Amino acid sequence: MKRKGKEEKVRPIREILEAKSVAVIGASRDEAKPGAQLLYVLKNVGYQGNVAGVNPQGGEIFGATLYRNLGEIPFDVDLAVLLIPPRLIPEALRECARKGVKGVVISAEGFAETGPEGARYQAEVKAILKSTGMRGFGPNTLGLVNTATKLTTSYFTNARMLMPGSVGFAAQSGIFVGALLKYLSSFDGLHLSKGIGLGNKVDVNESDALSYFTDDEQTKIIGLYLEDVKDGRLFAKNLRKAAIKKPVLIIKSGRTQAGAKATASHTASLAIEDHVFDGVVRQAGAIRLTGIDDFIRTLRGFLNMPLPRGDRLAFVTYSGAQAIMSIDAAVEHGLQVARLRQATRDRIAGVIATPSKTRNPIDIFPDWLAHGYEETMSEILKALLDDEGVDGIVFISFADANPEVYQPVANILKGRRRKPVFFSLLGDNKEKEACQNFLHGNGLPCYDFPEHAVHVFAHMRQYARFKERQS
């Protein structure tokens, strides 16, 4: 949506994301329906603002009063959530405007993504929002999450999903923000600051989200899922502003012809040339990712490790095969295999007897049996951290039955995170999961395969180079 010449007159979405009162229009008296469930959530997850429901029959449910219309609510309403069919939404918006509502979340499907009739409803919604100054999220979205205030417009949110984090995420999708929030909350250390469901983007779009996240102090990393871009120039401008201040990780679907066709029926999106979008993202300093797995892996790196100062990677391995595949991956990403200084090799020789194995990649098997795994890994780690010719470290290891074997390494890295350090484990699946949980609990990124660690390092180095060019 273009707002050239009047951006300053548009109500900032901060006022809605930090709403101090919420009305649920279409609140149900049936406890199992979304309109009732959302009231239950708002009353039970810690949201401290005023909450009310709107139902023509009135009443009460889950401790929330149901008013017959919006005008009966005895307090000002910052945010209204519209859980009603598309045909009823235009009049509901007019009622919201009369009440002085600042913003609305339109959850219903059945707008432009469905055909001409839906497109007509969406055009009417757009016109009402523009004429009244209200901000609109959606349609076709579960809406908003603010973990700082415990605000949510998603009816399946629980307290764990609202644990405060530092990742701001906006998605051009209906349920994706809520689903991602639920997924992230199952991992220690991965939590959202704010979530914005853009849906069909009748008003609030990706540029609005970027602008908000850029200035939001709680948000340290920005994530986006996009299918199209409403205003390319404004998006590029806001993207660069954001990337200068904090990492921006973007998933853009519709890379293929088939995927682009599917976007049209999802959120009524118009496909853009993928190579054009890719160029805009790269030039702006953001990082484009391929999917959720890539996003989660990259997120762990940015959240827990410093940006690398150079391209040189050191590998510590028990497996020659995995080391070679990792080196191939590094070279393919334009990275270098670090050449260890002689002083570093001399220190490593204290735990690795075979001289050829003290070169990069450092092969710890079977020498670690003589000194124990903990001492071997600790001495190698300290030597590599001190080597100014090493910019990042990848430990390729086995999953031990006792995760505590990684405690000495974790202790060293608590106070010495001068360069990124990653882990990759193979072995029994249950043992691997236990070890990964231990490492993640200590803020140490651990991946199934070392190539993933290399990939993340490459993303971080890409962003580091962008930041270096800005200074």
**Tokens at 31, concatenated:** 């406890």
What is the tens place of the pLDDT at every residue in 150-187? 999 999 999 999 999 999 999 997 667 778 888 888 88
User: All domains of the chain, ordered by start, with CATH?
Assistant: 7-300 (3.40.50.261), 306-470 (3.40.50.261)
* Residue 102 to residue 234: CA distance in whole angstroms: 23
* Residue 20 to residue 439: CA distance in whole angstroms: 39
User: Does residue 265 surpass a pLDDT of 60?
Assistant: no
**pLDDT for res 7:** 45
* Residue 190 to residue 167: CA distance in whole angstroms: 8
* Residue 445 to residue 395: CA distance in whole angstroms: 11
Summarize the confidence of residues 378-400 as an average pLDDT.
96
Q: Residues 377-411, buried b or exposed e (16+ Cβ, 10 A)? A: bbbbbbbbbebeebbbbbbbbebbeebebbebbbe
Percent of the chain past pLDDT 90, that is, above it, reads: 81
Confidence of residue 83 (pLDDT cuts 50, 70, 90): very high
The model carries a pTM of: 0.92
